[in-house]
Each structure stands twice: as C-alpha cells, then as structure tokens.
C-alpha cells in the first residue's frame, strides 16, 4: 500500500489525537486546555489554523471521540460509515497545495476551516484510504492488557500487536519469559 507523505502525517496526527483521550476516569486528558491544543497543532505542523479558543478545544475533543470510534469499529462497513459522517460534517473541499516547502499534496479541508474540521477532513480521508484499500484491520489498539493506545499497523505482514514494541511489547515478552523461567524452576 502506497502511503504518501501527507497521508502519513495525517495518520500520525489522528493516532496521536486519539491517544490524548483519557483511558479511564483516573487518566488525565491529553488535551486539558487550549494551550495543549495549540501545542498539538504546532507539533503536528497543522497549517492554516488561526487563534484557538475553548470552542475549538471542545470541537476537537468531539472529533477525537469520533475517530476513537473508527479505531474500535468491528468491520469496514462500520468504519466507513463513521468516516463518511466525519468527512461530510467537515465540509471537505479537496485541493492541491504546495506550501511550506512540501511538494504538491492534497488538503481536504476548506480554506479557513476550524481546526476540528481540518482534522476531521484530512485525518478522515487518510483513514478512508485504508478502508478503500481493504486494510481497515490495520487501524488497531495495543494488545497489552494495560494499554489501549491506538496505532496504525504499517508492517508488511500486518503482524504488529503493540503500540510500541520497546515498551508494551518488550514488557509483555519479559513477563512471559519470567513466567516460563519460574515454571521451569518449579
């Protein structure tokens, strides 16, 4: 599956956005205030965003919840329905652009769109490409029992199971190794 630079950036953005959501009542929100949203926008180099407000924060949190549902969708039809709603609500306006030193690429948000509509359109279209390619199962959640972070499995054989093999994957492999050693020692 060919993934262009702008699609990869949108995928990274949507995964990071979904992962800002609190996992439970004890976990803090990764987007607690407008300053955190501004930092998120800057980190992901989201273009054409003006001054952010509480309204933007609220709207982005709603979009985040809808993207979360896409990652939890049980099948491609469900994911497609959710993505269609997101993209339609954002009022997509596909256009070619070559800003900030990047070669020609697509933007799907209308000029002057809110940051929530920008995210819904561009990130929604990036996820749509996976559904169209029959690759919806690559939109996953970490299989570690104490982690439910979202990720996109870009491995060749669709075998990635953990959000980060150095943390979640390694932790589980070490625990399994210790359990085997303990059992062998009797």
pLDDT digits (tens, 9 = 90+) for 68-126: 999 999 999 999 999 999 999 998 888 888 877 778 888 888 888 899 999 999 999 99
Please name which of 36, 33, 43 lies closest in space to residue 13, comparing C-alpha atoms: 43
**Lowest-pLDDT range of 8-17, 36-45, 115-124, 160-169:** 160-169
41-50 long-range Cβ contacts below 8 angstroms, 24+ apart: 41/115, 43/16, 44/9, 44/12, 44/13, 44/16, 45/9, 45/100, 46/13, 46/115, 46/118, 46/119, 47/99, 47/100, 47/107, 48/109, 48/111, 48/112, 48/113, 48/118, 49/115, 49/118
DSSP 129-162: HHHHTT-GGGEEE--STT---EEE---TTS---S
Query: In the structure, what pLDDT confidence band is assigned to residue 51 with cuts at 50, 70 and 90?
Result: very high
pLDDT of residue 165: 66
Burial class (CB in 10 A: 0-12, 13-18, 19+), 114: buried
- Average pLDDT of span 154-167: 84
Q: What number of other Cβ atoms are within 10 A of residue 139's Cβ?
A: 23
Least confident stretch, 54-58, 73-77, 156-160, 174-178: 174-178
- Tell me the pTM: 0.86
């Amino acid at each position: 599956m060919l993934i262009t630079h702008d699609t990869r950036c949108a995928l990274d953005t949507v995964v990071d956005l979904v992962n800002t959501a609190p996992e439970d009542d004890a976990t803090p929100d990764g987007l607690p205030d407008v300053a955190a949203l501004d930092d998120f926008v800057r980190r992901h180099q989201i273009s054409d965003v003006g001054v952010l407000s509480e309204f933007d924060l609220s709207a982005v949190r709603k979009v985040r919840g809808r993207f979360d549902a896409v990652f939890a969708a049980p099948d491609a039809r469900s994911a497609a329905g959710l993505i269609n709603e997101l993209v339609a609500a954002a009022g997509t306006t596909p256009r070619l652009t070559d800003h900030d030193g990047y070669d020609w690429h697509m933007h799907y948000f209308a000029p002057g769109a809110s940051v929530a509509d920008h995210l819904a359109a561009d990130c929604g279209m990036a996820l749509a490409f996976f559904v169209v390619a029959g690759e919806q199962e690559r939109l996953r959640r970490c299989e570690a029992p104490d982690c439910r972070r979202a990720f996109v499995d870009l491995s060749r054989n669709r075998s990635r199971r953990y959000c980060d093999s150095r943390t979640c994957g390694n932790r589980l492999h070490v625990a399994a190794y210790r359990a085997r050693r303990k059992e062998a020692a009797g």
